[in-house]
Chains A and B, each alone.
Chain A
Amino acid sequence: MRKQNGGTFDPRTKLALGMMGIAAVLMTGNARYLVVEFLLLFLGMSLFKLLRPWVRSLKLMLPLVVLVFVVSLLSFSLIPALSLSLRLFNLFTLSFIFFQSMDPQELGDSLRQMGVPYEFSFILTTSLRYVPLITGRMQGIMDAQRSRGIDLRLRLRNVPHFMALFMPLLIQAFVLAEQLAMAMETRGFVAKGRTFRKFYRISILEYGIMVSSLGLLLACGVWGKG
């Protein structure tokens, strides 16, 4: 399923499985079942050797999950807080597996094959591809500002300082967008009659997996309510 292995599934199959996974997590309200779901995801990550990058991604995931837990604990009680934060954690993990297993271009190609206009699928895939670049730029800006005495640690008193992070980032994003538009234009993005070289075919096995997963999802729905 990993993109590094050449992508054994049709991207549309991956997309469908990902959507069903998200639906399953959203349908599950019981914290115990959410733990079971997480264990299944964990097993999947071990099988596809995704554990190390997943652990690295926790740095971004955990602060938000903890925030949701604290806020819901203060607003409700322990059980709903656990349930909400676990659900969010599972959603993050599932999205992580989905994006690790599928290249943005594959996603764009599959959407196009499903009838989404090329311009929209291209915008989506390009946006996804530029996320790591923007993240890198953000790190560069943080280093530059901290090096001249601007404290960007997560403290209440530092909130006004974050202008020093967001302003350069915003401006650089605009400049990059303009440069990208120029580069696309000079390689004929707007020309009519584009060739599409990649077409995918869903195998019988994949149909089988999708139908089984759908069945499991429906069973999960009944189980979750029970």
Chain B
Amino acid sequence: MIDLSQIRYRYEEELGEWVLNGVDLSVSKGEYLLLCGGSGSGKTTLGYLLNGLIPHFFEGTLEGTVTVQGWDTKDLTVSDMITRVGLVFQNAEAQLFNSTVENEIAFGLESLGLSAKEVAEAIDRTASILHIQHLLSRPPAALSGGEKRLVAIASVLGLNPPVLVLDEPLAHLDWEGARKVREVLVDLHRRGTTVIVIEQRVDTIFRDVTRCAVMGSGKIVFDGAPGDALSALLDQRLIPQYPLDPRRKNGEKPVLLRARSLFREIEGKAVLNDVSLQVNEGEIVAIVGKNGAGKTTLVKHFNGLLHSPQGEVSFVGKGIRGIPPPEMAALVGVSFQNPNDQFFKNTVKDELMVGLQIAGGDSGEWIEELCSLFHLHELLEKSPYRLSEGQKKRVAVASILAMRPKLLVLDEPTVGQDGRFLEILAGLLFSLRERGITIIMVTHDMEFAQATAERWIVVHEGRVVGDGSPGQLVKDESLIELGALGLGDA
């Protein structure tokens, strides 16, 4: 059905570097293929080859041939490909550009010039397969992450392509959203669709697929049954091997941050409802819970980005109300999910120095120490925009730490990152704690939270519903029944 033969490809701007360097791959009808690889391995580029975006949308050098259903993709346009291969992009926000879910599914069908009746029938059929009939009249922007992903799948599935390619369909989803998407993909495969999933986190979807191909440095380094892929996955560090926590001491520690009775309402809905918690010096604490539980809203109160109309937040015993966030940066550093939100300088070095320069501080030694700790020396003169996702995250966190805060808050640090980076990040957290920095991380990544945090605070629907050691909480069936924790499905 799909044949890639001796493929080499490089983007126009990346002169000399082959993103794909000698790829041979055949996919037969009815397969469910997991194509996995770390950041920069070339897997997304391979996805663009399958539906003709390369060579028709991206300019670059392509060697070798890609045939889909016997047609060379060079001889077809991208429009010709839409009924042959459906590609679901990683960024659902860019893929969903219509006013309602119904119009979203209709868009591709209207492009084909089908009659209104045929379009309506295809919408009904697609919505029924994905169980999203109840969403048809809703605007895509108002949906949850998992629902958006299902609608993105529906938008290409409506065209009834025999091959469906999905680029990181589980990224950004919590265990509940991920489970729904996985169920849908298994169902589509059972109905006869050839499914190709491109992923860098392989832990759960691995159980569903019939075949696994592992990519590394632009090549396929393993191709075979999922059961035989373990050693290749470990070699490519796609299954993270977390370092052991070197120091987990119990005992009395002074309180660093205390939040008392925080409330917040957004558009009439309670996002935080009487939240109280405390974090002690030298702890690594994970605030865990589903997407939309109120976790990010909660941590925005820790550095004064938000203030609760009631209750208070105190840091080392003093209330923070009235201290503007830029001044709080020297006490509490918050690193948000998307590192691209921070970058505006030409070099990594300038990015690291920016906060300090504004504050008029001089911490050359500390910056030097951070560069060593985060392995940034070789990146200092590079543009932050040209880095890999893992490198960007390291620079973003280091630039927060440049202000030398006592408390570091990381918002979903594992989202969009590969196993290699997760191992590095876990080691960094332990090293930072040794240097006296207390860490709070917000995450729905239970595996990472178990490997790194000594205490969990479980947030569900704006309330703290659990606070204790991960070992105890994962055994608490009431939390799992409530949906506040979802072990084994994330």
Within B82-129, which residues are at the interface with A (CB < 8 Å)?
A: 82, 86-87, 89, 91, 93-95, 97-100, 103, 106-116, 119
* B87, B97, B108: residue with the most chain A Cβ atoms closer than 10 Å: B97
Determine the interface band of chain B, counting residues with CB < 8 A from chain A. 35 or more
Within A165-193, which residues are at the interface with B (CB < 8 Å)?
A: 166-168, 171-172, 176, 179-193
Question: Interface on chain A toward B: helix, strand, loop, or mixed SS?
Answer: helix
Contact between A168 and B113, CB atoms less than 8 A apart:
no
Contact between B113 and A195, CB atoms less than 8 A apart:
yes
Task: List residues of chain B with CB within 8 A of the CB of A141.
Answer: 341-342
Query: Is B156 positioned at the interface, with any CB of A under 8 Å from its CB?
Result: yes
The one of B81, B97, B115, B400 that contacts A147, using a Cβ cutoff of 8 Å: B400
The one of B106, B329, B342 that contacts A168, using a Cβ cutoff of 8 Å: B342
Contact between A129 and B324, CB atoms less than 8 A apart:
no
Measured CB to CB, the closest approach of chain A to B37, in angstroms, equals 20
Query: Is B399 positioned at the interface, with any CB of A under 8 Å from its CB?
Result: yes
Contact between A168 and B343, CB atoms less than 8 A apart:
yes
**From A145, which residue of chain B is reached at the shortest CB distance?**
B342
The one of A147, A152, A171 that contacts B329, using a Cβ cutoff of 8 Å: A147
Task: List residues of chain B with CB within 8 A of the CB of A103.
Answer: 99
Contact A171/B89 with A104-B99, A197-B106 known, Cβ cut-off 8 Å = no
**From B359, which residue of chain A is reached at the shortest CB distance?**
A149
Contact between B325 and A146, CB atoms less than 8 A apart:
yes
Measured CB to CB, the closest approach of chain B to A125, in angstroms, equals 8
Count: A-B pairs, CB below 8 Å: 162
Query: Is B272 positioned at the interface, with any CB of A under 8 Å from its CB?
Result: no
Query: Is A226 positioned at the interface, with any CB of B under 8 Å from its CB?
Result: no
Query: Is A105 positioned at the interface, with any CB of B under 8 Å from its CB?
Result: yes
Measured CB to CB, the closest approach of chain A to B299, in angstroms, equals 10
Contact A149/B355 with A168-B341, A184-B97 known, Cβ cut-off 8 Å = yes
Determine the interface band of chain A, counting residues with CB < 8 A from chain B. 35 or more
Query: Is A132 positioned at the interface, with any CB of B under 8 Å from its CB?
Result: yes
Contact between A195 and B94, CB atoms less than 8 A apart:
no
Task: List residues of chain A with CB within 8 A of the CB of B330.
Answer: 149
Give the docked Cα–Cα distance between A126 and B94 (Å): 11
Give the docked Cα–Cα distance between A168 and B358 (Å): 18
Give the docked Cα–Cα distance between A172 and B343 (Å): 11
Task: List residues of chain B with CB within 8 A of the CB of A153.
Answer: 324
Measured CB to CB, the closest approach of chain B to A58, in angstroms, equals 16
**From A193, which residue of chain B is reached at the shortest CB distance?**
B113
Task: List residues of chain A with CB within 8 A of the CB of B112.
Answer: 188, 191, 195
User: What are 22 A-to-B residue pairs whose CB atoms are below 8 Å?
Assistant: A104-B99, A105-B100, A133-B93, A140-B341, A143-B305, A143-B341, A147-B325, A148-B342, A148-B354, A151-B358, A164-B354, A168-B344, A176-B93, A185-B53, A185-B57, A185-B78, A186-B78, A187-B108, A188-B111, A190-B79, A191-B113, A197-B106
Interface residues of chain B, those whose CB is within 8 Å of chain A, are: 51, 53, 57, 78-79, 81-82, 86-87, 89, 91, 93-95, 97-100, 103, 106-116, 119, 141, 155-156, 159, 300, 303, 305, 324-327, 329-330, 333-336, 338, 340-344, 354-356, 358-359, 385, 399-400, 402-403
